[in-house]
């Protein structure tokens, strides 16, 4: 684990919370961006106009080695259960490992995670992930580069599991997925085609294939536009709804009403085969827009 006092000397533009269970860093004016080093987990983005884009509930748990619910978890190198070992951690190990800060200024933060003995005991492939968070005004850009540092190809899945804060999930609309094929995980991965805008009226867990945006989230007079800068091929839309949310100890009683996950990635049929020495880049832009 990196000594936080060393980080403070190297990156004077950052503020570190030393009294939290997990190391946390704040960046930008008034701490516009907040991120935990475990999982490079982005937990806050407050726009210049004061709007909080990401959802983090009061019941979120912050424990070493345990995934954090809310914000932007990073799912890598697999999405969902590991196909050859369903007992392995859901969504891979990247979201529960400590990342290192490699660059920072008052408008950006770059972190990295490299394979080691621990990761190779779980997933036997050498790699390096480089994650860059950039923000200005009403806009957040998230960029991930995956490098195969080994001598043989590997296949991976990646998703930015973004929780967007909404006033009432039952009243939102998501545009940009019309006509796209999706796998409905609530119905044993039944293959369907989206008709019209997406609305949420019950438990929703869908993987839209070959669907890389742009997507617009309409929420009570506010909009969030999610744009594909590069490499985004799959979109996952998720909300547990009331009954399933009750089984989740890190969600408050009514939290399910106030978020929707619109995840950007390369998963399932869009998983990427990466040659030895190769790299893959995925980048999205999230822009808050008010319509009233």
Distances (CA, A) of 270 to 36, 79, 151, 156, 183: 28, 11, 23, 10, 12
Element holding 118 (H helix, E strand):
helix 117-122
The active-site residue, picked from 46, 161, 218, 287, is 161
Q: If you search the block for the tokens 């980048």, which residue do you land on?
A: 283
| Active site (annotated) includes residue 263 | yes
Query: Among 46, 138, 157, 263, which one carries the catalytic annotation?
Result: 263
Q: What SS3 class is residue 256?
A: helix
* Terminal C-alpha separation, the chain: 46
100 catalytic? Reply is no
Rounded CA separation 208/40 (Å): 25
- The closest alpha carbon to 254, from 174, 162, 169, 172, belongs to 169
User: How many CB atoms are located within 10 Å of the residue 283 CB?
Assistant: 19
Other beta carbons within 10 Å of 258: 16
Q: CA-to-CA distance for 11 and 102, rounded, in angstroms?
A: 9
Put residue 181 in one of left, alpha, beta given phi > 0 → left and psi -120 to 50 → alpha. beta
Q: Which residues are catalytic?
A: 161, 263
């Amino acid at each position: 684990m990196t000594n936080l006092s060393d980080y403070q000397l190297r990156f004077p533009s950052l503020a570190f919370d030393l009294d939290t269970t997990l190391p946390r860093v704040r960046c930008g004016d008034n701490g516009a961006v907040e991120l935990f080093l475990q999982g490079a987990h982005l937990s806050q983005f407050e726009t210049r106009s004061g709007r909080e884009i990401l959802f983090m509930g009061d019941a979120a748990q912050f424990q070493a080695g345990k995934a954090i619910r809310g914000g932007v978890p990073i799912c890598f190198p697999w999405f969902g259960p590991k196909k050859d070992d369903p007992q392995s951690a859901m969504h891979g190990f990247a979201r529960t490992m400590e990342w290192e800060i490699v660059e920072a200024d008052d408008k950006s933060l770059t972190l990295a995670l490299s394979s080691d003995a621990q990761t190779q005991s779980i997933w036997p492939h050498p790699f390096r992930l480089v994650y860059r968070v950039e923000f200005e005004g009403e806009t957040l850009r998230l960029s991930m580069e995956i490098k195969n540092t080994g001598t043989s190809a590997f296949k991976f899945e990646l998703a930015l599991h973004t929780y967007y804060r909404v006033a009432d999930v039952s009243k939102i609309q998501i545009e940009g997925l019309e006509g796209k094929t999706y796998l409905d995980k609530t119905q044993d991965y039944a293959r369907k085609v989206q008709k019209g805008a997406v609305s949420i009226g019950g438990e929703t867990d869908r993987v839209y294939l070959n669907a890389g945006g742009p997507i617009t989230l309409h929420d009570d007079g506010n909009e969030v536009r999610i744009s594909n800068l590069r490499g985004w091929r799959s979109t996952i839309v998720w909300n547990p709804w009331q009954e399933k949310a009750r089984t989740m100890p890190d969600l408050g009683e009514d939290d399910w009403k106030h978020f929707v996950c619109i995840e950007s990635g390369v998963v399932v049929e869009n998983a990427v085969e990466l040659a030895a020495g190769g790299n893959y880049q995925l980048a999205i832009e999230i822009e808050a827009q008010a319509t009233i």
